[in-house]
Amino acid sequence: MHSRTGSILSRTRMLAKIGTEKGIMLFGIKRDQKEANFRNQGLSPGDAILLATDLVTGGLTSLNLSDNQLCGLDMWGN
């Protein structure tokens, strides 16, 4: 992992921890929202960390994250 990427992910994790502790929704999912479609939005691993803080509310019944680079790789492994 590049040091810049590691630094960004470290700060993202810190922000996510604070958001979780304070009950702040960081990714824009509403507490009563049932569905979210983030297909092909160019999401990265850092976005996944922030999204996870919103998911702990447990309200979503459907979530589409297809066609993103959440593991840092595209569909061709780049």
pLDDT digits (tens, 9 = 90+) for 19-46: 888 777 788 888 889 999 999 999 988 8
Q: Which two tokens stand for residue 50?
A: 């922030």
Q: How many domains does the chain have?
A: 1
Q: Is residue 19 part of a domain?
A: yes
Q: Is residue 78 part of a domain?
A: no
Q: Is residue 41 part of a domain?
A: yes
Q: Is residue 34 within 8 Å of residue 59, measured between CB atoms?
A: yes
Residue in the structure block whose two tokens are 């700060």: 11
Average pLDDT, the chain: 84
Q: Is residue 28 part of a domain?
A: yes
Q: Is residue 32 part of a domain?
A: yes
> What whole-number distance in Å separates Cα of residue 57 and Cα of residue 53?
8
More confident residue, 58 or 14: 14
The yes-or-no verdict on residue 14 having pLDDT over 80 is yes
15 lies in which domain range?
A: 3-64
Q: Residue 39 has what pLDDT?
A: 95
pTM (2 d.p.) = 0.71
Q: Is residue 22 part of a domain?
A: yes
Q: Is residue 76 part of a domain?
A: no
